[in-house]
Each structure stands twice: as structure tokens, then as C-alpha cells.
Chains A and B, each alone.
Chain A
Amino acid sequence: MSSFPTQARVVVVGAGIVGNSVAYHLARLGWRDIVQIDKGPLPNPGGSTGHASNFLFLVDHNKEMAALTVESARQYRDWDVYTECGGIEVARSETRMAELRRRMDSSKNWGIESRLVTPAEIKELVPYIDESILVGGFYTPGVGVCDSLRFGTICREKAQEMGALAVFANTEVGGFGVEDGRIRSVETSRGSIAAEYVVIACGVWSPKVAELAGARIPLTPAVHQMIDVGPVPRFERSSRAIEFPIVRDMDVLMYERQDGIGLEIGSYAHRSILHDPEEIPSLEEAALSPTEFPFTQDDFDPQMEHALELMPEIVGDESVGVKYAINGLIALTPDGMPLLGETPEVKGLWSAAAVWVKEGPAVGQSIAEWMVHGEPTIDVGQSDISRFHAHQKTRRHTKARAFEAFPKTYGIVHPAEQYLSDRPLRMSPMHGWHAAHEGEFFEVAGWERPQWFRSNAALVERYGVAGRPNEWDARWWSPIINAEHLAMREGAGIFDLSAFAIFDVVGPGALAAVQGVALRQMDVPLGRVVYTPVLNQEGGFKSDLTIMRLAGDVFRVVTGGAHGMSDLKWFRDHLPADAAIVDQTSAFTTIGVWGPRARDIVQGVTRDDLSHEGFRFGTCRTIEIGSQLVLASRISYVGDLGWELYVPMEQGLRLWETLWEAGRPHGLTACGMGVYGTTGRIEKSYRAYGAELDGDYDIVEADMAPPRLKAQDFVGKAAVERQLAGEPVARLCTLTVDDHTSASGEKRYMLGRQPIVLADGSPIVDAKGRRSYATSAGASPSTGLHALLAYLPPEQAVEGNHLFVEYFAERYPVTVAVVGSRPLFDPENLRVRA
């Protein structure tokens, strides 16, 4: 063994699937002086990789997760450590069968070969199953099992062969040297290493390790129960370790898979059993590995009965014994997504945690690309560790959400499903008012926001809004949303936008700071409001947000609550030395008033000139409303005349009440976020980050390119120049549904993320291999249509073109209504400029 180094470019802490992959990909991308340490022995240091069931089901409703899994399978396959055996998710109930049909939508979206299978077909694939209790299944032939330990060993060996990596097992981290908010060194049980970068890939131990540097990695170790039974007579003839498809028994939250002559049975059906990282025993204390906790039989008893029902031939065989049973530890996070990227607390300290074996190789690659090139190929924005607001980093919140989410591991989760635990956390000054007006609260980033107001129920009848007959389509939805929308379009609506993340960029370098990040020209007169995309180096979307120039050296950035913290870090990462950022999120509340009567309402409470000429669209300035000074900004995300009004948080309620009183004679309606986030923007074809706008598409495709590119440099400019020079291979279009009637005669309403296909069901694929799918979907109450946004290749992006959308594996006709960013409703934008 070589002597222990005193310095390194990067120290990778952890030699599980993630740490190994990070080390390899960093070496592959040219980095040298990589040191990898683990407190355990090699090749199995005792973390979750060592007891993982190692299978990869490729289809996930989440685009990012599906992309990471598919890429990981490719890497495992490349190194010959992947056994493709296929996988079937089986349904015992009609409800589950519907979910499997929905999975067909996702498999088509992401281009993963899958098909629905009948009970008889399942029996043919898995002869030891009792198909009589099944309704059907969802079969993915590319599902397989990897050898994650072997993969890790190859990673280290290859990196060592390149002369890039030194590996030290049985080496524990005792602390970090951090100076001026940047990582400087790692203190280990074998000595200190000075390092520019540190990657924490410590699985369930990550929070403990990160704390040593003053950073937070919010995950909680949780138990996943697993048993192995054998020897199975039928498997004794198997020529390989796994020959039959893996079965996920979705209704009972279990899986069964062949493992040599044994059958492995895993479960997510038991109660949520959460631990603290401090509770994990040391290697010396642990009976098995530190992350294999003693099995708790009682928790597994019901699962044994379920396994017996599904596979009586094997599980019911008296000669087949339970040979191994553990409570294995896995990592759960507050929102179910991994924790990747540089920590917002410490520069140079990276997190690669809460990653499963099925994503490991792709995560390693993404982290390495991110560190070396500044951006990963796969958009991992939803996994960015900087996404969390303060409360989300606490132990209590993490555990509450993990406790709630664990039973949903194989659950049927509605795209709008709300967490119920650890609420309410962040309440706007109008929260009491909303509650009194029967707001239906949805949560984002901890903020409680009315999605609609039940007190507006009477509007449904007044506007003749139809309901949705299908329970799924109507879940987490109300026709009141559409009614509030129409009331806004007729009179005016008032919105509570307190969840906005707000931060000021200040100082002599403020202009340079925002100029270098924003696509749009930021050297604008004082009082201008600029809506601008924010791009990464490759020209993919990082965010879209508005920036107000409040003074020569003060710019106020306003962005969505969900992505606000990631945006904040992005600005900080690109901040010149002579500029500073002040987080104002909790200082200001924002109230929006929009609609044809908005001017009448606000003008009624101010002596300032709000006329079209006196207060131009795209400008902001301070006005007096009663005894308050209010920063008013004339823009709109719902496509109507009106203002965002900013006041200190504690004055919000007073302003709201003032406006409410003034607005009632004008038909002012309190509107929920359903209007703001869905109907209002959809019928205006406004794009949303995370839906239409992500790392996979560019501003030309999204039809958001400025008429003229600014002269100043900004992140992604070179890429944008290339994009502008070429012809887009996809264009964002607005489609409308021609007929909602399903085969059963029920009207169905798509919720977004459905494949757009040709008449024969074949996918539409652009020249970059991306498949067309509905990035968003929602009602356009003003036109009475249901609208979808989707990128289409040029030959399909033709207005009037007839295509189809698949929803729960059924096809519905749609028409391309708009190509590009022209709104479906009020295409000339007369309303906002009224």
C-alpha cells in the first residue's frame, strides 16, 4: 500500500456504488490526484450497497429518475455486470391496473420498451406465480440485476490504471478544514489531506460526515426488510443467477426475485422504521454489516402471507427455508429525490447521497461532469441539494416526510399529491384570511397556499364549469379553479404570492452579477422589470425569473418558491467580488391583482398614476396605498392587466384587506394557485421551469429567444449563439384536445406528462432522439378547451396538424393549435397591455 497522501485535488469519501462511480468518472474526465477513502474494508465496506437487491426497474414517472436509471443500466451493461432478466409489475386490483396503464404513458415518454401483459402471459414468463389472483401486469424486458460491488471494483481499478486514484480502506473521516466557507482539508484516521474538493458519498452516514464540515445533507436511514428463502428446487436447474423476471407485487408493496437457488423477497409494506445516522453501529459492533439491522419478524409476517399467495409453489414449499433475513438500511429524503451537487454551506464540498444502486453509475457520472465541466449531461435539477429551504434541512422535517413517503415507495402517487406531515410550517400574513375563506391549502417549500377557495363554490354554477367524471382526473382538483379563473378574466382576481423567493443583488458589481447570469439585457433604466431565462453553460434552462432594477446597484430577483434556493445558489456561485446577495424572501410578501378591473381597483386606493401611459407594462415603482408604501410591478403570469405588489411581510394582511374592500364593488375574486400555476399560464402558453423548461431543451426550441442577443457575456452565451445559428429540431407547441371520450365513454382530462403520438400509437421522435410528450396540461377555461404544451419536431409542429395524446394507454385526438409562444388565449396580449 502506498503511503498516505498529504494532498489531493479531490477526496471522495465512501466506496459504495456512488463513491466508486464518482472516482472513476472524475478520472475518465481527466482529473488526477483523486483520493478515495472509506471507513470500512473493500470491496464491501458495509454500507447499503453491500446488501442491496441490485435490480433496476427502468420506468419511473419522474423524467430525471428514469434518465438516471436508464443511463446506469447502460453502464452496468457496458462492463458486463448486468443480467437482463426482465421485470413485471403485477396488479391484483383494477386500481393498480390503471396505474400500470399510466406507467405505459411514462415508458413511452422516456422511450423505454414496455408492454402490458395478461395474467396468462405473466404465467408464461414466471411459471411459479399464481396468476389467478392477478388482473394484469406491466412488463419491461430491459429490467435486470447488476453486480454493484463488482462494478465498484472495476471503477476503482480503471481509475487506478489511469494513475488517477489512490484508495484507502479502513480510513475514517474525523473532521474537515473549512476556511472562508471553502473546504481546505480532510482529517482522517490516517492523517490530514489538503484538498480542493471533497465528495461525500457516504450513503446513510452522509449527514454525520457533512455535519463535521458544517453542511447539511438531509436524509434519514430507513429500514427495508428483505428475506432470502431456499433452496428452491426449480432454480437448481438454472444456468445463471437470475433467469426469471423480477416480480414487483405492487398492491402489497413487495418484490420477489430469483437469486441463484434462492428467492429474495423484499418489502416496503411494513411500518416506516426510521433511524438516526448516530444509531448505526460501528463495523466492530455490528453483527452483520453496520447497515444490516436485526430482522424484526413481526413487521414481516403479513408480507409472508402475501408472498405465499403470489408464489405458492416456492414460498409454500415446506423444504424451502428462510435462510437470511435483514432490516437493511436505505436513505430517504424529504422529497424522495437524491441529494446531489455542491452543498450550499461549503464551497468545494459536494454531496452524492441518497442514491440507490439503480441510479449509482449515472449519478457518479453526473457529479463528475458537474465538477469538471460545471454541468451534468443529465439534468439533475430536481436532485440538486441546494434546493432545500432551511426547514427542509432539519432532522424532524426529514423524518416526518420520510415517514409519510416510505409506504408510497410502490404506491400510486398522484402528480399533485400533497404531503400532510409537518404542516403548517410557513404561513403568509394572509393565512388566517384564507382559512376563514375556506382556502384549500397546498404546500410548496413549506408555504401554505390556497389552491382554490371553497367559499367561491357558487362561482362554479355561475360560470357553468363542468366537473371531471373520473376520480383520478378530479383528485387534488376542483372546478372552483376554473370558476375563479373566469371570474378573474371577467372582473379581477387577487392572489397571495408570499411563497416567492426574493433576493437582492447589491453593490458596485450588482449589474455585472445579474448581467452575467441573465439571458436578457439587464443594463436597463431604473424601474424596469425584466423577465429572463437563466441558462447553464450548455444553454439548457437553469431557471426563469424576473429581475427588477430598483437602483443603479440594486437588483431584486423574484423567483418561484420551489426552485428559489437553487436559484439563490446559482447567483451566489456567479457573484463578482464587489457584489453581494441579500435574501429577502421572508422580508416581503407579494400580492397580485389581475383582471380587466385591476386598474380600477388599485387606482381606487392610490393617488399615483396607474394609467397605461403612467405605469407601463414591464416597469415597477413605489406607490402609496393607504398608509403603506408599496413596490408595484406591472407584469403578469396569468396574462391579464395588473400588478404584483410588494410590502413588508407584517403589512401584507392590511394591504390585502385594503384591496379586498376596494375590489369588491369591481367583482374582485380571491383566486388560488390553481389559477396562477395552471389555468392562467396554460391558456397563455406561458412556460414553466421544471415542465417545459429544463436542461434538455433550449430557448430557440422554447421560442423564448430575444430578438437580438445582448452584447454582454452571460452563462450559456456561446451555446445560445450556436442554437440561434442552427435550425431547431423541436418547437414548443400548444395543442388542444379534440375529444375527451375514453373507450368506456368517460370524459378524461390529461394532467401532463403524457406521450404525444401518431395515429397508430407510434412515438414522435425528434432529430436529437427526444420523444414528444405533454410537458404540461390543463384547462383553458376562457376558450373552453383542454390544452397541452409539447415539443414537436418541425414536420409535426404545424398548426392544424392532427395528432394523438395517450392517457392511461388510451389515445385521444389533439390538434396543434399554436406553434411557438403565441398564447392560445388573447394571442395579441391585448389584456396585459390594456
Chain B
Amino acid sequence: MTTVLVLVTSSDGAPDDVALQGLSLAREVAAGEPLHALVLGDEAAAAGLGAWGATQVHVARHPALADIAPGAAPDAAARILGDLADRLGADVVVGPGTEPGNTILARTAARAGLPFAANCTVVVPGAPLTVTRQRWGGSLLEEAVIHADRAILTVAAHTVAATPVPGGAAPVTTFEPALDDADLVVRVVERIPAAAGGVSLADAKVVVSGGRGAGSVEGFAPIEELAGLLKAAIGCSRAVTISGWRPHTDQVGQTGTKIVPSLYIAAGISGATQHMAGCKGAKKILAINKDPDAPIMSIADYAVIGDLHQILPAISAELRRVRGG
């Protein structure tokens, strides 16, 4: 019998996408056995988890955590998760492969003295458990064996489809976890809201990016123009940030922002491993490049061959014409 516990992170009453993907992965591991979900404080998010495969939902409520987001006290979250796993005798603990998810699960593992496998794409049940996990931001996969009585892992974002269970429902129980002061040393003490306006790269539906081919700071003018017309966020490659043409906040890539837009327009970007790791989540990719065989073409849906400095202004002009402006 395999008992699986899943950490479901949430915000404003809705479970995170990646957390639901984790639930779907966990469902395969549980294979019909009990599938427990832990929700930190957010009872609204807990309510619907049965429809995503959970068979028992646990909501942890603690006065010290009342006014902060789940994950904003990662040591506390890790302890709550670990204690619950102990209580349930969980064989497998799964979390979302997000920034907070990875740090919480890592802390749970560290507390328990257990190994931790971040960003898994495949889990093969069994003893020991075998996983496939991402290296190099997903540009390389690793098959690994977790040698431990309890396997702790996260699911790599957007690699497993979140599939609902029609008619599924799960009882929700609320409990107050035990926490010490030491668990609350690391916690968010202040939140600075983002400046209004502008499209956030991580959430943008359309992203227009420039690479080395942009050539200079000024070379981004046609990219800015088209992004404005499409209400898109502006992105860039790491080569651009290193050259100082754009700020790091615009960087799409393994060590920048990983984006999941409906359309990604990559202009003058050849497609280094580092960049592909950040943009391959896009639903559609249009690559504009002088080199028809640039690596970016291997993941692109559409291609235009030529110089971005000639092509982008032409697209913007055509867009204005079609819109009747």
C-alpha cells in the first residue's frame, strides 16, 4: 500500500496550476490508494481538490501564518508538511516545482534527513522509486533512483497535464499544526506591490523578444513598437542582458523568467540551451532569424527568414494598416 501526500500551494482561493499538475502526477503514483492533499490556510482552495483526484484534504491553520501567503514562511510550511507526512505514514511526498514549492520540499527533506528530487517529469512507482527529473532547466533529463523509505519530490512545471476527475470529491479537515519560534524566523515581513502598468513577463499572453541580432540598446526599438501594438511583454536573451542592452527582468531563460505565453515572438535569437529552457512552454513560437537553420527553428511553429530590423517594422506597419489605423 502506497500513501501519497501532495502539497497544494494556492493563492487567493485558487490552487496553483503547477500544484494541480503535481496532484495529477501523484494520482498515478497512488494508483487508487489514498491521495492526501495539504493546503496551507486557504480553505477556499481546498474545497475543489477532490475534483482533481485528492481523496482527503488537510487544511493547516495557524495564527502565526494568518496574514501571510502560504510559502511565505518556508520553514514553517516544511515542518507542517513533514509532520503531516509522519502522521499519515506517507511513502511519497509531492510538491509543485515552483520557487516556493521547491524550497519547501527541500526543507522538508532536510529536516527529515531524506533525499529530495526536484522537478520530476515522470515517477515510476516501486521500491525504490525511480524518477525522471530535469537538469539544465529541462534541456537534459536525468533518470534517478531515490534510495529512501519516503520519496520527496516536486513535479516540473508544465510537464504533466492537470486532469480533473469528473465527479470527484474529498473530505476536508482543518487542523492546527505545531510550530516553534524557530520555524518562523524565515518569513516574509513586508510585501512591496509591483508598480502599476506594464505586462509581467511571467504572465504575459504574448511576448516579443530580441536577442544578439538586435545589435544594441537602440536595436530594441522595433521590438518595443511591435510589443506595444500586441500589448505584449518585452523579453530578451541572456546575451542581451550580459551586453547591458536590457535589464535582467526582461530575460527569458533558464536563469531568467520561464514564460508560458500563447505566442512567443523570438527575433534575432539563435536559441541557446539557456534560452530554450525559458521559452519552450510557449504555445506558439514565431522565430525571426537570418539563419533558417538556427536552433530556435527546431521548436518554432512559424518562421520568417531575414533581418529583424527590416521585418519587425514591416509587421508593425501591416498591423496598423489592417487595423485601419
Contact A284 B290 (CB under 8 A): no
A42 to B291, CA, bound (A): 7
B292 located at the interface, meaning its Cβ lies under 8 Å from any Cβ of chain A in the complex? yes
Candidate in B290, B293, B294 with the most chain A CB atoms within 10 angstroms: B293
Inter-subunit contact B295/A170 (CB<8 Å): no
B254-297 interface (Cβ within 8 A of A): 290-295
Do the beta carbons of B295 and A284 come within 8 Å of each other?
Answer: yes
Find chain A residues with CB under 8 A from B290 CB: 41-42
Interface centre among A41, A42, A169, A284 (most CB of B within 10 A): A41
What CA separation (Å) do A170 and B294 show in the bound complex? 10
How many angstroms between the C-alpha atoms of A170 and B293 in the bound complex?
7
**Interfacial chain B residues near A169, Cβ < 8 Å:** 291-293
* Nearest A residue to B293, CB-CB: A170
B294 neighbours in A (Cβ, 8 Å): 41
**Minimum distance in angstroms from A38 CB to a CB of chain B:** 11
A94 to B293 CA separation, bound complex (whole angstroms): 54
Report A224 CB to chain B, min CB distance, Å.
24
* Chain B residues whose CB sits within 8 angstroms of the CB of A170 once the complex forms: 291-293
Q: With both chains docked as a complex, state the minimum distance between the C-beta of A42 and any C-beta of chain B, in angstroms.
A: 8
CB distance from A236 to the nearest CB of B (A): 14
| Interface residue ranges of B286-318 to A (CB < 8 Å) | 290-295
Nearest residue, chain A, Cβ from B242: A323
- When C-beta atoms are compared, the residue in chain B nearest to A283 turns out to be B293
How far does the alpha carbon of A42 sit from the alpha carbon of B289 in the complex, in Å?
A: 11
* A535 nearest CB across to chain B (Å): 48
Separation in Å of the A319 CB from the closest CB of chain B? 14
Query: Which residue of chain A has the shortest Cβ distance to B243 in the bound complex?
Result: A323
Q: Could you tell me which residues of chain A, from 34 to 48, have a CB within 8 Å of some CB in chain B? A: 41-42
Q: Nearest chain A CB to B215's CB is how many angstroms away?
A: 13
- Residues of A in contact (CB 8 Å), total 5
Q: Is the interface of A mostly helix, strand, loop or mixed?
A: loop
Q: Bound complex: CA of A284 vs CA of B291, how far in Å?
A: 13
Q: How far does the alpha carbon of A169 sit from the alpha carbon of B294 in the complex, in Å?
A: 12
Q: How far is the CA of A717 from the CA of B293 in the complex (A)?
A: 53
A42 to B294, CA, bound (A): 11
CA distance in complex: A205, B192 (Å)? 57
Interface range for B: under 10
> Nearest Cβ in chain A — how far from B63, in angstroms?
52
Name the prevailing secondary structure of the B interface residues. Answer: loop
Closest to B270 in A: A41
Contact, CB under 8 Å: A41 / B291: yes
A661 nearest CB across to chain B (Å): 74
| Chain B residues closer than 8 Å to A284, beta-carbon distance | 295
Q: Which residues of A contact B291 (CB under 8 A)?
A: 41-42, 169-170
Instruction: State A170–B291 Cα separation when bound (angstroms).
Output: 9
A42–B295 alpha-carbon span in the complex (Å):
15
**Closest CB in chain B relative to A749 CB, distance in Å:** 58
Q: How far is the CA of A42 from the CA of B292 in the complex (A)?
A: 10
Nearest chain A CB to B283's CB is how many angstroms away? 25
Nearest chain B CB to A44 CB, angstrom units: 10
Q: Give min CB distance, B210 to chain A, whole Å.
A: 18
CA distance A445 to B295 in the complex (A): 47
The closest CB in chain A to the CB of B289 belongs to A41
Q: Contacts of B295 on A, CB cut-off 8 Å?
A: 284
What distance in Å separates the Cβ of B270 from its nearest Cβ neighbour in chain A?
Answer: 9
Taken residue by residue from 344 to 377, chain A's Cβ proximity to chain B (1 for < 8 Å, 0 otherwise) reads as: 0000000000000000000000000000000000
Least CB distance, B276 to chain A, in whole angstroms? 12
Tell me the residues in window 20-58 of chain A with beta carbons closer than 8 Å to chain B beta carbons.
41-42
- Give the contacts of B105-154 with A (CB-CB under 8 A): none
Chain A, range 735-768, C-beta contacts under 8 Å to B: none
Identity of the chain B residue whose Cβ is nearest the Cβ of A171 in the assembled complex: B293
Q: Within 8 Å CB of B292, what residues of A?
A: 41, 169-170
A41 vs B290: C-alpha distance when bound (angstroms): 9
* Bound CA–CA A284/B271 (angstroms): 11
Mark each residue of chain A from 262 to 284: 1 if its CB lies under 8 Å from any CB of chain B, else 0.
Answer: 00000000000000000000001
Q: A169–B292 Cα gap in the complex (Å)? A: 9
A40-84 interface code vs B (CB 8 A; 1 in, 0 out): 011000000000000000000000000000000000000000000
Residues of A within 8 A of B293 (CB): 41, 169-170
**CB of A324, distance to nearest CB on chain B (Å):** 11
Q: How far is the CA of A284 from the CA of B295 in the complex (A)?
A: 8
CA distance A546 to B292 in the complex (A): 58
- Select from chain A the residue with minimum beta-carbon distance to B292: A170
Q: How far is the CA of A524 from the CA of B290 in the complex (A)?
A: 66
A169 to B305, CA, bound (A): 13
Contact indicator per residue, chain A 150-194, by CB within 8 Å of chain B (1) or not (0) = 000000000000000000011000000000000000000000000
CB distance from B314 to the nearest CB of A (A): 19
Cα distance A41–B293 in the bound complex, in angstroms: 7
Chain B residue, CB-CB nearest to A284:
B295
* CB 8 Å contact bits of B195-216 with A (1 = contact, 0 = none): 0000000000000000000000
Give every chain B residue within 8 A of A42 (Cβ-Cβ). 290-291
Bound together, the chains give a CA A284 to CA B294 distance in angstroms of: 9
Q: Looking at the assembled complex, report how far the CB atom of B305 sits from the nearest CB atom of chain A, in whole angstroms.
A: 9
A284-B290 Cα distance, complex, nearest whole Å:
16
Task: State how many angstroms separate the Cβ of B130 from the closest Cβ of chain A.
Answer: 29
Which chain A residue shows the least CB distance to B291? A41
CA distance A41 to B294 in the complex (A): 8
- Cβ-closest chain B residue relative to A45: B291
Q: What residues of chain B lie closer than 8 Å to A41, measured between beta carbons?
A: 290-294
With both chains docked as a complex, state the minimum distance between the C-beta of B149 and any C-beta of chain A, in angstroms: 42
Nearest-Cβ distance from residue B250 to partner chain A, whole angstroms? 21
> Measured between alpha carbons, how far is A169 from B291 in the docked complex, in Å?
9
Per-residue interface assignment for chain B, residues 48 to 86, with 1 indicating a CB less than 8 Å from any chain A CB and 0 otherwise: 000000000000000000000000000000000000000
In the complex, which residue of chain A has the Cβ closest to the Cβ of B305? Answer: A1
Bound-state CA distance A41–B306 (Å) is 12
Q: How far is the CA of A170 from the CA of B289 in the complex (A)?
A: 14
CA distance A449 to B246 in the complex (A): 66
Chain A: which residue is nearest B295 at the CB level? A284
- Minimum Cβ distance to chain B for residue A43 (Å): 8
How far, in angstroms, from A525 to B183 measured CA to CA in the complex? 112
In angstroms, how far is the closest chain B Cβ from the Cβ of A136?
40
| Distance between B136 CB and nearest chain A CB, rounded to angstroms | 13
**Bound Cα distance A169, B295 (Å):** 15
CB proximity of B296 to chain A, nearest CB, Å: 12
Q: How far is the CA of A284 from the CA of B292 in the complex (A)?
A: 14
- In the assembled complex, the Cα of A191 lies from the Cα of B295 at a distance in Å of 22
How many Å from the CB of B271 to the closest CB on chain A?
Answer: 11
Chain A's nearest CB lies how many Å from the CB of B140? Answer: 14
Tell me how far the C-beta of A742 lies from the nearest C-beta in chain B, rounded to whole angstroms: 56
In whole angstroms, how far apart are the Cα atoms of A41 and B270 in the complex?
A: 11
B123 to chain A, nearest CB (A): 31
Q: Which residue of B lies closest to A170 (CB)?
A: B293
Across the interface, name the chain B residue whose C-beta is closest to A41.
Answer: B291
Q: A552: shortest Cβ distance to chain B, in Å?
A: 62
Q: How far is the CA of A170 from the CA of B295 in the complex (A)?
A: 12
Q: State the Cβ distance, A352 to closest chain B Cβ, in Å.
A: 25
Nearest Cβ on chain B to A825's Cβ, whole angstroms: 68
B274 to A: closest C-beta gap in Å = 11
Q: Which residue of chain A has its CB nearest to the CB of B294?
A: A41
- How far in angstroms is the closest Cβ of chain A from B290? 7
Q: Which of B27-58 touch A at CB < 8 Å?
A: none
The complex places the Cα of A41 from the Cα of B297 at a distance, in Å, of: 13
Nearest A residue to B290 via CB reads A41
Please measure, in the bound complex, the distance between the C-alpha atom of A179 and the C-alpha atom of B290, giving whole angstroms.
38
Q: What is the distance, in angstroms, from A591's C-beta to the closest C-beta of chain B?
A: 62
Q: CA separation between A164 and B291, bound complex, in Å?
A: 23
With A169-B292, A170-B291 given, name 8 new contacts (CB 8 A). A41-B291, A41-B292, A41-B293, A41-B294, A42-B290, A169-B291, A169-B293, A170-B292
Q: Which residues of A contact B (CB under 8 A)?
A: 41-42, 169-170, 284
A-B contact pairs, 14 of them (CB 8 A): A41-B290, A41-B291, A41-B292, A41-B293, A41-B294, A42-B290, A42-B291, A169-B291, A169-B292, A169-B293, A170-B291, A170-B292, A170-B293, A284-B295
Listed from nearest, the 8 A-B pairs whose CB atoms lie closest are A41-B291, A170-B293, A41-B293, A170-B292, A284-B295, A41-B294, A41-B290, A170-B291
